[in-house]
Every structure is written in structure tokens, then in C-alpha cells.
Amino acid sequence: MAIQWTESLSVGVGTIDEQHKGIFSRVNNLLSAMAQGKGRDEVGKVIVFLADYVVKHFSAEEAIMAKNNYDGLPSQKAEHALFIKDFSALKKEFETKGVTPHLVIQVQQKICNWLTNHIGNEDKKIGAFLKMKV
């Protein structure tokens, strides 16, 4: 079950939107690798890359918010930290048990749903805030 990037998820900040598209692409690669029964190494590479990419993205996004004195920054940081915690738990589950049906469901529920909801709600507020500053 792939997740689709749509323009309705655009926050209107080029770098953020491009990174979000990259995250969607990588999550889809992860779901595809798991669905195709790809080897542990292949799924592991995607998980490691995605974990690193998400941390870099959150740092870049938070830097933009800090630079522009966005008052929602503390809330965003808390949500980002929770996502990293959840993703780390899924990564650990993969490392100990491999690709299981439970892991696939958790990735779809926790990662896909979180991304779509977070970007569609919280990150769009950043874009709206930045547009008002211009």
C-alpha cells in the first residue's frame, strides 16, 4: 500500500516539499521491498537510509522554523521526536525479527499515516506562516 504525494500536501516551501517527496518515495521503496519479500539486507538498507534522511529533514525543517521565529516550533520538535522514537522501535523490531506481517502493518499505520497527517496538518501551518511573513 503505497502513499501518494499530492499537491494538497505542499507547504509552499521548495526545500521542505522536495524533502517530503523524497520521504514519500523512500517509504514507498520500503513498503515495496517488504511486499516483494526482498532480502533482509535490501530492506535494512532502505530503513537505515530513511532513518538518516528523516533526521536530516527534521533538522532542516526546524532550522527554517527557528530562523523565522515560528511559534509552533516546540510542538513540531515534540512531534518529530515522537516520530523518530516510533521509527527507531520499528527499526529495532526489523533488526530482531526481520520483516513480519506486524512490521509491515506498523510501517503502514505509524509511518504512512503519521506522514500524511503531519504534513497535511502541521507542516502546512509552517507554509501558511511563512507566506504571511512575506
3-48: pLDDT as tens digits:
888 999 999 999 999 999 998 998 888 888 888 887 677 778 888 8
Q: What is the distance between the terminal CA atoms of the chain, rounded to a whole angstrom?
A: 38
**How many percent of the chain have pLDDT more than 70?**
98
pLDDT at residue 50, as a whole number: 85
The number of angstroms, rounded, from the C-alpha of 35 to the middle of its chain's C-alpha atoms is 19
* Entry pTM: 0.85
Q: Using CB atoms within 10 A of its CB, is residue 72 exposed (0-12), middle (13-18) or buried (19+)?
A: middle
What's the whole-number average pLDDT of the chain? 89
pLDDT at residue 1, as a whole number: 63
In this predicted structure, the answer to whether residue 62 has a pLDDT above a threshold of 80 is yes
Indicate the fold that domain 13-133 takes in CATH: Four Helix Bundle (Hemerythrin (Met), subunit A) (1.20.120)
Where along the chain do its domains lie? 13-133
Q: How confident is the model at residue 100 (pLDDT cuts 50, 70, 90)?
A: confident
Alpha helices in the chain (DSSP H): 14-35, 40-67, 73-97, 101-106, 113-117, 124-133
Can you tell me the mean pLDDT for 81-97? 91
pLDDT at residue 32, as a whole number: 86
Q: Is the dihedral of CA 17, 21, 23, 27 positive or negative?
A: positive
Amino acid type, 22: G
